[in-house]
Amino acid sequence: MTKLTHIDESGRVSMVDVTEKAVTTRRAVATGTVLMSGETFAQLQSGDNPKGNVETTAELAGIMAAKKTSDLIPLCHPLPLSKVRLHVSYNEGLPGVKVTAEVRTTGVTGVEMEALTAVSVACLTIYDMLKASDKAMRITDIMLLEKQGGKSGDWVAPKT
């Protein structure tokens, strides 16, 4: 197992020193799913939601969350993000929605946490906007799909 980078020799937590790391282009893509009843899914598709446009609000919430990741996750470095894109897509077969986030930066540390935070908050926003119709919705399968850049190189999640 790889040594944990946020724990020092005496077992204390610390922010990783990235001073000597090379600046590279970094990219991460994450995804998550919100499962809901067929009735709630139909309401979502119709656009008839008293709280407003669910997709646009969730996408905006995800972008804002990515920018605040270092305020939310202890020991996470603040990063100058160059791109944050979220996409909410309908999936009638679930029924529900898939949320995908892509985050980019040029820096010394990766943007995996920013992509995962963006997806998580977008999913929570969808739940919040539809909870009056369906309190049994489930947020599932939040995961990193791929990352590019940095010393460890590129990585793509295995197909399941």
CATH superfamily of 24-149: Molybdopterin cofactor biosynthesis C (MoaC) domain (3.30.70.640)
pLDDT band at 16 (very low <50, low <70, confident <90, very high): confident
| Residue 143 tokens, joined | 């995961």
Q: Please report, for the chain, the start and end positions of each structural domain, with discontinuous segments joined by +.
A: 24-149
Q: Are 108 and 75 in contact (CB under 8 A)?
A: no
- For 111-159, how does the pLDDT look when each residue is reduced to its tens digit (9 = 90+)? 999 999 999 999 999 999 999 999 999 999 999 999 999 888 999 999 8
Q: Are 138 and 127 in contact (CB under 8 A)?
A: no
Write out the catalytic residue numbers: 128
The whole-model pTM stands at: 0.91
Alpha helices per DSSP H over the chain: 38-46, 54-67, 69-72, 112-130
